[in-house]
Amino acid sequence: MKATMRLLGLIILACTTSCLFGTTTTLCDDYGIRCESGQTCAAKQPVCVDIGKCGDGHIDVGEVCDDGNIIDGDHCSADCMSDETCGNGIVDTVGGEQCDGGDGCSSDCRFQRCGNLLVDVGEECDSGAQDSATCNLTCTTSRCGDGYWNKVAGEDCDTSLLDTAECNGARCTLSMCGDHYPNLAAGEACDFGPDDNSVCNGNNGDGVASNCQKAACGDGHTNVAAGEQCDVGPNGDGACNGLAAGALQCHTSKCGDNYKNTAAGEQCDHGGADDATCNGSKGADGKTTNACHVPECGDFYVNTSFTPMGGNAEQCDNGPDDTRDCNGKGSAAHACQHNTCGDGYRNATEFCETDHDTAGCNGPEAGARACQESRCGDGYINRADNENCESNSDCTGSSAGTNCDPDSCRCGTGA
């Protein structure tokens, strides 16, 4: 009887529910809900789904997945048509996808963007919002010559391999004389480093026009490695030979080097030795600068190869004026000859000129009184001047007397 009543109650309940819907219903025991005819409960969700459709837990024809619910974002879309993985061609917006495949879409199914730290299609790299040692902010691999100045990669500049006055194109370093890179755009003709060598000037200071130029006499820089001893420009100066010196150009100027440096005051230069037309390198005695000068009697230098005024070779030279032992330049054929009494030239230091005693002039025999005025008491007995004594001792044995008259320089008794 009890069993009969329980069955009757179930029928009544079923009848009541079906009567409310007007259709046959299905009870979902797990969730206590009833689904309409043609529906069934989802396998893992308290919701009714069409029988044989998405959500029943079975992958039916046309479905790519079925996880027993109709919820997006759990690796199976609400319509069971997407496994919600990037790259399946379906844009799963609940999963955060902005796109899935095609141009402009990145590998994480977001719109392609340099700086997203992902190497998207067309990108060589992606270092985010900053440069790295290997990647440019433009998402291209950093390399010198790419036209992008990447400081993190150690570049000082980047001019797409083209040299400029400031940048070495092939090295991406700042142009500087002495960096071993000849940058023609910077005006360099050569660059072998900071030091001079035989063909190229080194780095001798900022702004020097001769820096990193081919070594050349006259450029204003003394390149010792190129054999220069000095360099003050093409014309040289009194201390340095200019370009006109040939093999001696950019050498220190000195008398005797066989180059006449007029800026140094040279009038001639035939080497170190004297010759008839030029004083050699020894031609200076402290009185005048006469080395490498045309020889002249009176220049205070004795050039024994030089014959002044058609006379004899110089024997002495005490300057232009007569001195006791040397005739000056005004003595014609006797110029710069040793002064001797009786040489035919009256030297300014002589009172008279004779080659023998005369009544008024002592001859060469007078020694220190030669060619001086003959006078009693001068210490020299000039017999041509009627003298026969200069002191009493000269009258010893004289028949005229033993005394010497101091007024007449004659021996007598009344003195």
User: Tens of pLDDT along the chain (415 residues)?
Assistant: 333 333 333 333 333 333 334 456 778 877 888 999 899 999 899 999 999 899 999 999 999 999 999 999 999 999 999 999 999 999 998 888 889 988 778 788 888 789 989 898 889 999 999 999 999 999 999 999 999 999 999 999 999 999 999 999 999 999 999 999 999 999 999 999 999 999 999 998 777 899 999 999 999 999 999 999 999 999 999 999 999 999 999 999 999 999 999 999 999 999 999 999 999 988 655 455 799 999 999 999 999 999 997 779 999 999 999 999 999 999 889 999 999 999 999 999 999 999 999 999 999 999 999 999 999 999 999 999 999 999 999 998 888 888 999 999 999 865 4
Q: Report the first-to-last Cα separation within the chain, whole angstroms.
A: 215
- Residue 54 belongs to some domain of the structure: yes
Domain that holds residue 60: 33-81
Q: Using CA atoms, how far apart are residues 190 and 215, in angstroms rounded to an integer? A: 10
- Residue 253 belongs to some domain of the structure: no
- Residue 39 belongs to some domain of the structure: yes
- Residue 267 belongs to some domain of the structure: no
- Residue 256 belongs to some domain of the structure: no
What DSSP letter does each residue of 16-77 carry, written as one string?
HHHHHHSS--EEETTTTEEEPTTEEE-TTSSSEEETTSTTSSS--TT-S---SS--SSSSS-
Give me the number of domains the chain comprises.
Answer: 1
pTM > 0.75: no
- Residue 59 belongs to some domain of the structure: yes
What DSSP letter does each residue of 74-115 carry, written as one string?
SSS-TTS-----TTSS---GGGT-S--SSTTB-TTSSB--TT
Question: Which conformational region is residue 101 in: left (phi greater than 0), alpha (psi within -120 to 50 degrees), or beta?
Answer: left
- Residue 72 belongs to some domain of the structure: yes
- Residue 125 belongs to some domain of the structure: no
